[in-house]
Structure 1
Amino acid sequence: MAILVTGGLGYIGSHTVVELINNNFEVIIVDDLSNSEKFILHNIEEITGKRPIFYPFDLKRKELLNQVFDAHDIEGCINFAAFKAVGESQEKPIDYYENNLFSLINILQEFKTRKISNFIFSSSCTVYGQADKMPIDENTPLKMPESVYGKTKQMGEEILKDFAQSYKSKICLLRYFNPIGAHPSALLGELPIGVPNNLVPYVMQTAAGIREKLSVWGNDYPTEDGTAIRDYIYVVDLAKAHVAALKSLMNKETEETVIDVYNLGTGKGSSVLEVVQAFESANEVAVPYQICNRREGDITIAYANADKAERELNWKSATSLEESLKTVWEWQKYLESRKN
């Protein structure tokens, strides 16, 4: 059975492709390489022994997407294709709305035409905005997100809910928190283009001397050390959750509408400075940093209640913050070795 993975050479997508292949799924990747690189395809093959079918194009090109569906018997989709930087989304809102929503709609048009079900959407905890209480569970009211990126995720969810209701489709919305880490082989990891927008790759590059100092965006939040708190989940644990969610959808033999929603996180929040200190301790390196003004679009605190995923998908995050951060440093060493 073929599964379409959009953005499958990206950070979370590539790790999920590995887990899908390990679970005997045939994988079709569409990725425009705007936030990934072609060598990741080779590394996936090195890890799994199988090379996924790969199409390098933008999902907004409807005619090419149509050809992919014509060529393969696709039974489901995991959609990672999206711009994802909170700060950048504030600077380029129209680019984010166009890229993140038009590509989703084009895939759903194919699903509608061909009567395909089983759609997993890479959503985000940003759909909750700044929640009133912690931890955040799936019944936490959605608020208008602080960032344009978050708004595209919330709009994407609404589009999918309407699609499922109208066409009796099965969809799953995976709202995950902050993915970190790299594959234990050190052949896959987060590969930001240009200056990183996420904390951990910036920490990694600062420790490696690529960046002079880490910018800590605000130390005046109402938290113990004044820095923002997030729930950092190991990317391989997260990838396994996507496979569990896909199997759950496909096992539901029904023509009725299915809309599953799961939070994916560790259930524990860590501040920016706690992550920096954990990275330094885990890898015995120094990470110089400077305090800067808060960044527009950021919230104060967010961490998950992921009990529903454990109960219904038999999935649970299993990797500690320190273990995850060790894999990050091994990934950085691998990237350095590629330059030599």
Structure 2
Amino acid sequence: MSKSLTLVSSVLRNGCERFLFSSSAAVYAPSDGGCVDERWGIAPQSPYAHSKAQFETMLDDIAAATKLSAISLRYFNPVGADPELRSGTPSARPTHALGKLFESYSTGTPFRVTGTDWPTRDGSGVRDYVHVWDLADAHVRALERFDRVTAESSRMTVVNLGSGRGTTVWELVHTFENVLGEDIDVVAAGRRTGDTAGAYASNDRALRLLGWVPTFTLEQGIEDTARWLAVRPHRLNSV
């Protein structure tokens, strides 16, 4: 966190009083797979989530004590790639659920559904998958409306960014198979340490403050990811 403080101090020292932070919905306390808004409790369950929560706390304190204005955009689960394939995930083997599905698809190894006894409609965890191009659009809107968004608050403004709908892991598998036109082997496994039932976003504040509504579907996110992974070695000149 010391380097984060150095960054914000440098920003202020150089006369910049606006700060847009890419945060994560991982900061929220566990839920039962339902909808969460920005008032939901904070209780990060992983080192990554802790780092996001700590940075938000620091920004909030600095905004209260200085002229800094800040917006924190809390992403849910990004998927997809630039629809024109100019950019995408740099990793050949992403570790999130969709990445693991593509790994199973390409290698023929079974996909593991970790946790099948959550209090959700089919027992698997719920996630909110939002296309990266919708996230990009939200950032542009946040920059364009920054002063109007922060004028109402002397502290940091937090905004959820998600699709606004929950997708269970089993539903993700079925959607993946429909998009790719091929079944994959799936095995059920026990819960992993640190896992939660998950949640999906309330986008009410994003609509009110940013005029933002997600437009890409999960199917498009899967299709764009597939197209990106096919061209990724050429685009990044790597394997």
Q: 1:199 aligns with which of 73, 91, 97?
A: 97
Q: 1:282 aligns with which of 168, 179, 192?
A: 179
Segments of 5+ residues of structure 2 without an aligned counterpart are none
Instruction: Give the superposition deviation at 1:290.
Output: 2.4
The reply on whether 1:190 has 2:89 as its aligned counterpart is yes
* Aligned position for 1:148: 47
The reply on whether 1:126 has 2:26 as its aligned counterpart is yes
Question: Are the structure 2 counterparts of residues 200 and 165 from structure 1 closer, same or farther at C-alpha, using a change threshold of 3 Å?
Answer: same
Aligned-residue CA RMSD in angstroms?
2.3
Report if aligned partners of 1:138, 1:263 keep a CA contact under 8 Å in 2: yes
Question: Are the structure 2 counterparts of residues 318 and 252 from structure 1 closer, same or farther at C-alpha, using a change threshold of 3 Å?
Answer: closer
Instruction: Give the superposition deviation at 1:231.
Output: 0.6
Q: Which amino acid aligns with 1:227?
A: S
> Displaced runs of 4+ in structure 1, greater than 4 A?
250-254, 336-340
Report if aligned partners of 2:134, 2:214 keep a CA contact under 8 Å in 1: yes
Residues 15-36 of structure 1: CA deviation (Å, up to 9, x unaligned): xxxxxxxxxxxxxxxxxxxxxx
User: How many angstroms apart in 2 are the aligned matches of 1:303 and 1:241?
Assistant: 17
Q: Which amino acid aligns with 1:279?
A: F
User: How many angstroms apart in 2 are the aligned matches of 1:217 and 1:147?
Assistant: 17
Q: Which amino acid aligns with 2:100?
A: Y
Instruction: Give the superposition deviation at 1:242.
Output: 1.1
Q: 2:76 aligns with which of 147, 166, 177?
A: 177
The reply on whether 1:159 has 2:58 as its aligned counterpart is yes
Residues 254-276 of structure 1: CA deviation (Å, up to 9, x unaligned): 7x835211111111100111111
Question: Are the structure 2 counterparts of residues 252 and 224 from structure 1 closer, same or farther at C-alpha, using a change threshold of 3 Å?
Answer: closer
Question: Are the structure 2 counterparts of residues 231 and 261 from structure 1 closer, same or farther at C-alpha, using a change threshold of 3 Å?
Answer: same
Alignment of 1:255-266 (within 5 A): 257-266=154-163
Residues 54-88 of structure 1: CA deviation (Å, up to 9, x unaligned): xxxxxxxxxxxxxxxxxxxxxxxxxxxxxxxxxxx
Question: Are the structure 2 counterparts of residues 132 and 271 from structure 1 closer, same or farther at C-alpha, using a change threshold of 3 Å?
Answer: closer
The reply on whether 1:219 has 2:116 as its aligned counterpart is yes
TM norm structure 1: 0.64
Report if aligned partners of 1:129, 1:299 keep a CA contact under 8 Å in 2: no
User: How many angstroms apart in 1 are the aligned matches of 2:191 and 2:222?
Assistant: 24
User: How many angstroms apart in 2 are the aligned matches of 1:133 and 1:272?
Assistant: 12
Segments of 5+ residues of structure 1 without an aligned counterpart are 1-100
Residues 292-317 of structure 1: CA deviation (Å, up to 9, x unaligned): 22122221021011011111111111
Report if aligned partners of 1:204, 1:328 keep a CA contact under 8 Å in 2: no
Equivalent residue pairs, number: 236
* Aligned position for 1:329: 226
Percentage identity across paired residues of the two chains: 32
User: How many angstroms apart in 2 are the aligned matches of 1:272 and 1:253?
Assistant: 36
Question: Are the structure 2 counterparts of residues 212 and 172 from structure 1 closer, same or farther at C-alpha, using a change threshold of 3 Å?
Answer: same
Question: Are the structure 2 counterparts of residues 322 and 133 from structure 1 closer, same or farther at C-alpha, using a change threshold of 3 Å?
Answer: closer
* Aligned position for 1:138: 38
Question: Are the structure 2 counterparts of residues 105 and 168 from structure 1 closer, same or farther at C-alpha, using a change threshold of 3 Å?
Answer: same
Report if aligned partners of 1:147, 1:298 keep a CA contact under 8 Å in 2: no
User: How many angstroms apart in 2 are the aligned matches of 1:217 and 1:165?
Assistant: 42
TM norm structure 2: 0.89
User: How many angstroms apart in 1 are the aligned matches of 2:218 and 2:189?
Assistant: 24
